[in-house]
Structure 1
Amino acid sequence: MSMQGMERPGAPGDREAAVELVYEVTTADLAQAFRVRNTATPALRRQRWLVPLVGIALVVLGGEALAAGQPGPNGLPVLAGGLLLCGLAVWGPRLRARAFAGLLAKAGATRTVVDGTGIQVTTARSSTRMEWGAQPVYAETADTFVLLDVAKGAAAITVIPKRGVRGPGDVNRLRALLDARLRRL
């Protein structure tokens, strides 16, 4: 599907301020977005430290049970569960992102236009227009801008990789558009 010449709604002043990006979302981009998501709400922040804390406690309890030679299956499953929780705390965002690899490959090239009226995201399989209120919070990482709807537990995420900008200064223009309309996380 050609993304050339696609029209988008908006007033002429909105078109002048538009920033266009063309990119393919990678699992690394998505992993960064999931890490940002984990800091977006109080519940997710608690989960971020609670999961490894419980994991470490289970590793200690399971290790003590095995070291004491207590009969029964208590030590090994508790130890394994603790190791699993610790692993999920460290590699969870990357594993979640890898689960989306097939969908990302099918989406192919993504064209995103950000202007005064909102965000238009177009892939080979879909096109979505979001007004600014749909995801009113954003965070910036070294490589991406991540837009979130924190009212819904940060379930709605839009990832905009900086490498997709078309010209010099577009990252700064995009940041200015986001700062003017969204709350920075």
Structure 2
Amino acid sequence: METRGGDAFASDTDTGTGADVVFVYRPAVEDFEEALRVRALRTWAGRLQAMTAPVASVGALAVLGVVVGLSAPVLSVALVLCAAIVSWGTLRALRTQARQLFSVVEPYGQCRMVADERGAVSTGERVSFTFEWAVHRGYLETASLFVLLGGERSAGIAVLPKRGAQGPEDVERLRGILDRNLTPLQRQRL
């Protein structure tokens, strides 16, 4: 992969070999909300992040209730309320995190991503970057997104909306490229 000026594309792209896939899209905050939600549901790390606060809070309250000597009905109500409030807070935190991630890419404007067997080049209105598939450890797929999960050399997630595909065949071709180069983490599509 190489980059050239403001228009960075995979070097194979100019050859017209047909091995590359092009997606053109404008990032949306809803994409990041869906990506974080699916990560929280389908990965061990995501479930751990989402469940730590509610489980720890309920556990601490249960111990405190027993030590203080709260009656069983009062402790039960307190535990249910605690679980509900902390779970709501966890969901709000995911939405806030999604908005923060979106605020990073929003200035890019419309994006054009070109992918081939080596990696992808994404070019926005103000920035271009190139990455090889090796920087990601795997990917998740929903009905509307491909979500690339960071690996040892890359933190976070990359979100690729399927609405950017030029046609349904491009979604299939990108899925094939991802399957050959990354580990699909749970095959089902939401």
Q: TM (normalized to structure 1)? A: 0.73
Asked whether the equivalents of residues 41 and 150 of structure 1 are also in contact (C-alpha less than 8 Å), the reply is no
Q: Residue 35 of structure 2 is aligned with which of 33, 43, 46? A: 33
Contact between 2:13 and 2:20, CA under 8 Å: does it hold in 1?
Answer: no
Q: Unaligned stretches of 5+ in structure 1?
A: 69-79
Verify: 1:136 aligned to 2:137, yes or no. yes
2:125 corresponds in structure 1 to 124
CA offset at residue 13 of structure 1?
7.8
Using the TM superposition, give the Cα deviation of residue 108 of structure 1 relative to its aligned residue in structure 2, in angstroms.
0.7
Tell me the C-alpha RMSD between the 2 structures.
Answer: 3.5
Q: 1:92 — aligned with what? A: 93
| TM superposition shift of 1:81 | 8.0
Q: Distance between the aligned counterparts of 1:165 and 1:116, measured in 2?
A: 17
Match of residue 169 from structure 1: 169
What is the Cα deviation at residue 162 of structure 1?
A: 0.3
Q: Post-superposition shift, 1:137?
A: 0.7
Distance 1:174 1:43, change over 3 A: closer
SS at match of 1:103: helix
Query: Given that residues 138 and 184 in structure 2 are in contact (C-alpha distance below 8 angstroms), is that contact kept between their aligned partners in structure 1?
Result: yes
Q: How many angstroms apart in 2 are the aligned matches of 1:92 and 1:171?
A: 31
SS in 1 for 2:113: strand
Structure 2: distance between partners of 1:181 and 1:43? 21
Aligned equivalent of 1:21, options 20, 23, 39:
23
Give the CA deviation at 1:176: 1.0
The count of aligned residue pairs is 171
Change beyond 3 A, Cα 1:15–1:89: farther
State the distance in 1 between where 2:83 and 2:42 align.
Answer: 25
Query: Contact 2:22–2:114 (CA<8 Å) still a contact in 1?
Result: yes
- TM-score, scaled to structure 2: 0.71
